[in-house]
Chains A and B, each alone.
Chain A
Amino acid sequence: MKAGIVRFPGSNCDEDAFHAIADHLGQEAVYLWHKDHDLQGVDLVILPGGFSYGDYLRAGAIARFSPIMQEVVAHAKRGGLVLGICNGFQIACEAGLLPGALLRNVSLRFVSAPVSLRVESIATRFTSQYHVGQVIRIPVAHGDGRYTADADTLAQLEGDGQVVFRYVDDNGEATDAANPNGSQRNIAGIVNAEGNVLGMMPHPERAMESALGSTDGLPLFQSLLDALLGGVRA
């Protein structure tokens, strides 16, 4: 598996993603420069966390028009895998790869903390190594993480099993108190209808080793590896 991590001006989780792929998964990782048009033949594109273009105007709004994003969108339309984490989720929504938008946290505060997520679907190439209903601990770090979509889109996401991760409390219940940003229906991560693009606000690449407090991000990357090497399709 070869993963490409896009570096936008303001990306700051690019090296974490590289570390996850290269050191934890033992797979090839390359950086993709935002001004380039070359995906270098990667199987997986990671849009990393950070503050691309300073989040000016709206988070992800300007990054979406980077030259490399034309190639990323084409890769996704061909069925190629794309993982958008945090700012990458915002960019994927702005680019139309995923429905909805990420708005300012209801608290108006930047939230940086480990949160509990419930795995809602394992029928994706990103989550096959989890169990349905499994509660995992993964950190969030964002100011604009409130997932919002219109009622029809929400109903479609729920009906088609596209809600992949939900913020929950220690008992696995999706309560308001467990929702760090006010996301509709406690949505923390979704896939597109084709199942090849995942966007999530929490950072699985920061939950890869016990020294960091959690290894619960590891199965996500192992799922991708399994999908690419084993040909498992959603």
Chain B
Amino acid sequence: MTRFRCAIHIVPRRGILDPQGKAVADALHSLGFAAVGDVRVGRYVVVEIEAASEDAARDQVKAMCEKLLANPVTEDFEIASVGGGHA
């Protein structure tokens, strides 16, 4: 078994009003970043996990996202990276 470090991005679904993102976008506009369009504020989760392979680690993290880490009604998730691989 090998230890992997998996990074997960969870963001509000497109079409779901994100007041935190809107507040940040407004603040960026007031700082002069006029080119900023939509901003979404989500969550970044890092999970360390023992698995037989990188694919196995990824599969387990995907199951975690579907069961607990993201709410399928309101959030999308993306497994941004699966790294480590140290014995």
Q: Would you call B60 an interface residue if the criterion is a C-beta within 8 Å of the partner chain's C-beta atoms? A: no
Let me know if A148 is at the binding interface, CB within 8 A.
yes
**Which of A70-78, A102-110, A224-232 contacts the other chain?**
A102-110
Contact B19 A104 (CB under 8 A): yes
A-B contact count (CB 8 A): 35
A100 within 8 A of B: yes
Answer yes or no: B68 CB below 8 A from chain A CBs. Answer: yes
Residues of B in contact with A, size category: 10 to 19
On whether the beta carbons of A148 and B74 are closer than 8 Å, the reply is yes
Give CA–CA (A106, B69) in the complex, Å: 22
* Residues of A with C-beta under 8 A to B74: 101, 103, 148
* Chain B residues, Cβ within 8 Å of A57: 68-69
Is residue B27 within 8 Å, beta carbon to beta carbon, of the partner chain?
Answer: no
| Interchain CB contact (< 8 A) of B68 among A65, A93, A103, A146 | A65
Instruction: Report whether B68 and A108 are in contact in the complex, using a CB–CB cutoff of 8 Å.
Output: no
Say whether A205 faces chain B, with CB atoms less than 8 Å apart.
Answer: no
A106 touches B73 (CB 8 A): no
**Interface residue A58 (Cβ < 8 Å from any Cβ of B):** yes
* Distance (whole angstroms) from the CB of B14 to the closest CB of chain A: 12
Q: Which residues of A contact B23 (CB under 8 A)?
A: 108
Q: In the docked arrangement, what's the CA distance between A93 and B74, Å?
A: 12
A101 touches B20 (CB 8 A): no
A-B contact pairs, 9 of them (CB 8 A): A61-B68, A65-B68, A100-B73, A101-B73, A104-B20, A108-B20, A108-B23, A146-B17, A148-B73
A101-B71, A103-B12, A104-B20 given; name 10 further pairs at CB < 8 Å: A57-B69, A65-B68, A93-B73, A94-B71, A100-B73, A103-B16, A103-B17, A104-B19, A106-B19, A182-B17
Binding site for A on B (CB under 8 A): 12, 16-17, 19-20, 23, 68-69, 71, 73-74
